[in-house]
Amino acid sequence: MTSSDSAEKRAAPPGDIRQSGSERRPYIRDTEENRREALVAATQSLVAEGGRPAATVRAIAARAGVTPGLIRHYFGSKEDLLRAAYVALMDGMTNKGEEALAAAGAVPAERLAAFIAATLRPPVLDPKAVGLWAGYLHQVQSDPGLLAQHESSYLQFRNRLQQLIADLGRPVADGQLRQEAIACNAVLDGLWLEGSVLPGHFAENEVIRIGLRSVGAILGVTLTDFTPRRQAAQTRREMMRYSAVYERLSGLGSAKWAVHRLAREMAEEGIPVIELTIGEPDSPTPPELIEAAKSAMRPGRLGYSDGRGEPGLRAALAKRYSERRGRAIDPDQVICLPGTQTCLYGILRTLVENGDEVLIGDPMYATYEGLIRQTGASPVPVALRPEHGFRMRAADLAAKITPATRVIFLNTPHNPTGAVLTREDIAEIGALAVKHDLWIVSDEVYEDLIFPGVTFTSPLDLPELAERTICAASISKSHAAPGFRSGWVIGPQEFAAKLLPLSEIMLFGNQPFLADMTELAVSHPSPIAAGMVERFSRRADLVATALDGKAGLKVHRPEAGMFALVDIRATRLSGQEFALGLLRERHVAVMPGESFGEGLAGWLRLSLTQPDEAIAEACTQILAHAQAQMAAA
């Protein structure tokens, strides 16, 4: 096996037109970022010139100087690229306010004035930006993805403005800060439009002065533009450069959680919402674990730790995996890190780099694409089909393998579908990994939440896959302890040795008192997992009974985990459209399937962690909403 320090040349991605004769040029580190930026810039310019209809696949590709196939390769679809271009536009404008705050002083009035001034001067004040924004605006109501991003950007800006107003320390009545922020935001929006479209009608910095006076009048304070005294420092900041990881991750994640964020906003305003969006365990952390952490702190288990993890915890994990997998696992095969997310970050950072490809099931957990892209590698979606129970099929994998493929990324039990790979599935997938010399990475955080009648199998169970398999897990789900951020990686000793320097650079070891608590947790069966399994399985049946086969809805019953899926394609709405309507009209929050990839378009993911009564009421509202949509159609 090879890791990311390999000197092998990487194959260029499909659609690379930069070649000489029949030979492709060697793949260089920054080409992927350049292409993504070129596609976004081309999309923005076309929308600004002729509106969204002008941004056809061929027109975008021609202007960016690439083949049309690269749009799907880097963004999944043209619609995803259009949304990424909109995100880049909005981020580019809102980020100037944040940069101004970073350069401002500590005086609240000065900070508010700096924020306002930054939103009313170039490059935010720009006729081209207004044209591009207008090109998107008329599509916002008809495109739920754009609508979600528009709402997210608006709330982000308004909330920042509200916080700056609150920092002024004036006595205010209940609800006054929100109303003032809305009023001030409306003033700034109007001035931005006028100042951008009719710049010749204003003297230098006049738009800023009007904005400061107007906002000051609303708030009853005097605001002065302090920017000139800090202009030199601001100019230096604008000249600073950032790594490519920001561009790799831009546009990922924000819109996926728009329904969840909107539900939280509604709840904060006093609107009761049944929240079925995230997988927060419905049990408290076992008290004995909390006591173990406290007891470890009292005698001083607060010093620096081993970069691999505390010896006692690694020994306990090695014993646990040796017993579960049926073969010896050595403590030197274990690295302890803060939660499964950090584990997967470290694993992928160690295995892949720019130009590599990672095969991953679609649908997928919302953060997986970002975890892969942060390395410079590209995720290659492999369809997980409902007719096959959303289990990954070796034949579908084989069709996606290229010379650039380095990793098969598994998630079993799977989030969001609750699918569990069988031993036969893993053997067939493993045979492909052996044939093509690929790593297998397996996220197994839901292992202890397997439903009755289902058998869990890990790639680590198969001896022939042991030297190419790396597993990640944590106590977040099994012990209802996500806030403790305690996870681990199990892999070959050579891999663990190569991950160790990264672990030490990032963390310089985990907290010893949390390691002692986790050692206790993994040394015995979870005292709460069985109860969660019983409740989640029962609630999955409740959802199926309430919704399956009614108003065109279909329910996919999970085999594990804490989520159920509902197919709402018969309503002819996207998951995003259905979820936003359900939240606004019936105050039930669910995750749109599109948040987890194209493979779940037209589906909903429902968390099973709320009480039975809340689940039942949510199902009643989902059914009523579906019936209303069907009747309207």
pLDDT for residue 226: 54
For residues 505-510, average pLDDT: 84
For residues 539-565, average pLDDT: 97
Helices (H), 419-466: 423-436
Predicted confidence band of residue 589 (pLDDT cuts 50, 70, 90):
very high
Segment 19-71, tens digit of pLDDT = 333 333 333 334 577 778 888 888 888 887 777 778 888 888 888 887 888 88
Q: What average pLDDT does the structure give for the chain?
A: 87
Domains of the chain: 28-78 (1.10.10), 90-249 (1.10.357.10), 255-283+529-632 (3.90.1150.10), 287-522 (3.40.640.10)
Q: How many CB atoms lie within 10 A of CB 517?
A: 29
For residues 435-460, average pLDDT: 97
What tokens does 439 get? 């790593």
Predicted confidence band of residue 170 (pLDDT cuts 50, 70, 90):
confident
Predicted confidence band of residue 345 (pLDDT cuts 50, 70, 90):
very high
The model's pTM: 0.66
Q: How far apart are CA 402 and CA 440, in angstroms?
A: 16
Q: How many CB atoms lie within 10 A of CB 549?
A: 10
pLDDT for residue 407: 98
Segment 462-493, tens digit of pLDDT = 999 999 999 999 999 999 999 999 999 999 99
Residues 6+ positions from 60 with CB-CB distance below 8 Å: 39, 42, 43, 46, 68, 71, 78, 81
pLDDT for residue 277: 95
CA distances for 309 relative to 296, 314, 513, 514, angstroms: 15, 7, 11, 10
**Exposed, middle or buried, 442 (CB in 10 Å: 0-12/13-18/19+)?**
buried
pLDDT for residue 186: 93
The mean-pLDDT minimum among 213-222, 383-392, 515-524 falls in 213-222
pLDDT for residue 204: 79
Secondary structure (DSSP) of 543-569 = HHHHHTTSTT-EEE--SBSSEEEEE-G
